[in-house]
Copies of this chain bind each other. A is one copy, B any other.
């Protein structure tokens, strides 16, 4: 077993960008500066600034991306900001596509390096921000000196998270944002110290980075990391409770048995025979449908919504759901596993308590399919169950409720199909996710 220092020494070269890559980035940066100077010559009051991980030298070699922000004075309207932002963006990159955050912005290439050109307002104080991107300059101001000397700790942390599928605050991941990583390194001083401390993290913790202290708030349901530039804001707001738990577990496992594997992404092997064996005797259902052309954050929140909705219909129909999940690849998938595959043709229907004369008489007149009986003084009878199989329930949920399964998703789900048992094995791009979903060990 290696020590932590040995492991970190071994993986450090893997997380630090090589000389050649740095040179390439530098060249792109210089070219971008030239183009921006020229493009903004007509707008003397708009300033550009390099922000984000590139500017602070905390980027990973596999994800070089230069973020440049165009800072507009407040007198510009939203429409002007958008229009000029896009116009300038397009003019400074070699090839571009439009992306969407708070505003649309330009993503493109400069000298072979990926670049984001994001317009925002230049404000006096973060209290006046109009959208999330306006906060970024303040984040950079707060971090830029404090992170100096700890850049490689940030890189180690990011890679440690990436390998555990915990990096990124977007809805697809619900993990740790780059900004959160840097704040945690500032707070704990080093990657190693963060990881050692995180083994004892609790959901009740409030990490106050600015004041260098931790408070415990009884009853708090998930970690709160106070944003130094906006103390009401939780930087870890989008970290799911289960990813919080995965991170804490990962830190413990790393401390107890340090290894470079914690910094290397391994894709799971799929063993189709093992999956087939596992599906036999379990009740697993997949809904598959065409992937709608919407941005990822919208896609994943709507997948979550559709999953919850179908899960609720299963539960309303008395199916216990062991687990549900969603996955997006070329197509989209929702997965459900239930305790039973088929239920009785009757279900209980509860009526009034005997004390209620009028409701009791109404119950007697109405419920005549089966004989009534009492449970603890309350009327009960049986009714025929219309949907006996879990698969039927899912099909019924889709057919009748697709409209409430996410506005951009609904039509796609309606045209989707439900697979059960072995049929699921034909959904090749789902099988890695399925392996994890079923809890199959390697």
Using a CB–CB cutoff of 8 Å, the interface residues on chain A facing chain B are 199-203, 241-242, 244-246, 248-249, 252-253, 256, 281-283, 318, 320, 322-323, 337-348, 354-355, 357, 360-361, 364, 368-378, 381-382, 388, 436, 438-441
Indicate which residue in B281, B347, B370 contacts A388 across the interface (CB closer than 8 Å): B281
Q: Contacts A344-B281, A344-B339, A436-B371; is A377 near B241 (CB within 8 Å)?
A: yes
Give the shortest distance, in Å, between A128 (CB) and chain B (any CB): 36
Q: Given contacts A318-B339, A323-B373, A370-B440, could you give 4 more A-B pairs where the C-beta distance is less than 8 Å?
A: A241-B374, A242-B374, A371-B436, A372-B439
Are B244's CB and A354's CB within 8 A? yes
Complex CA distance for A357 and B196, rounded to whole angstroms = 12
Q: Contacts A245-B377, A249-B360; is A439 near B345 (CB within 8 Å)?
A: no
Indicate which residue in B337, B348, B441 contacts A371 across the interface (CB closer than 8 Å): B441
Indicate which residue in B282, B377, B439 contacts A381 across the interface (CB closer than 8 Å): B439
Give the shortest distance, in Å, between A245 (CB) and chain B (any CB): 4
CB<8 Å pairs between A and B, sample of 8: A199-B357, A203-B377, A242-B374, A249-B354, A252-B360, A322-B344, A322-B348, A370-B439
**Interfacial chain B residues near A346, Cβ < 8 Å:** 282, 322, 439
Give the shortest distance, in Å, between A346 (CB) and chain B (any CB): 6
Q: Contacts A203-B355, A249-B360, A376-B241; is A340 near B342 (CB within 8 Å)?
A: yes
- A241 to B, closest residue via Cβ: B377
Indicate which residue in B200, B357, B378 contacts A252 across the interface (CB closer than 8 Å): B357
Give the shortest distance, in Å, between A78 (CB) and chain B (any CB): 39
Are A320's CB and B318's CB within 8 A? yes
Give the shortest distance, in Å, between A365 (CB) and chain B (any CB): 11
Complex CA distance for A357 and B373, rounded to whole angstroms = 50
Are B282's CB and A344's CB within 8 A? yes
- A202 to B, closest residue via Cβ: B355
Give the shortest distance, in Å, between A343 (CB) and chain B (any CB): 5
Give the shortest distance, in Å, between A368 (CB) and chain B (any CB): 7
Q: Contacts A318-B320, A371-B441, A440-B371; is A345 near B249 (CB within 8 Å)?
A: no
Complex CA distance for A355 and B345, rounded to whole angstroms = 44
- A345 to B, closest residue via Cβ: B281
- A440 to B, closest residue via Cβ: B371
**Interfacial chain B residues near A371, Cβ < 8 Å:** 436, 439-441
**Interfacial chain B residues near A241, Cβ < 8 Å:** 374, 376-377
**Interfacial chain B residues near A244, Cβ < 8 Å:** 354, 377
**Interfacial chain B residues near A248, Cβ < 8 Å:** 354
- A361 to B, closest residue via Cβ: B252
**Interfacial chain B residues near A381, Cβ < 8 Å:** 439
Are B357's CB and A200's CB within 8 A? yes
Complex CA distance for A261 and B391, rounded to whole angstroms = 48
Are A441's CB and B344's CB within 8 A? no
Complex CA distance for A354 and B247, rounded to whole angstroms = 10
Are A441's CB and B377's CB within 8 A? no
Are B345's CB and A441's CB within 8 A? no
Complex CA distance for A281 and B342, rounded to whole angstroms = 10
Are B439's CB and A382's CB within 8 A? yes
Complex CA distance for A440 and B369, rounded to whole angstroms = 8
Interface centre among A249, A252, A347, A375 (most CB of B within 10 A): A249
Give the shortest distance, in Å, between A373 (CB) and chain B (any CB): 7
**Interfacial chain B residues near A345, Cβ < 8 Å:** 281-282
Give the shortest distance, in Å, between A260 (CB) and chain B (any CB): 21
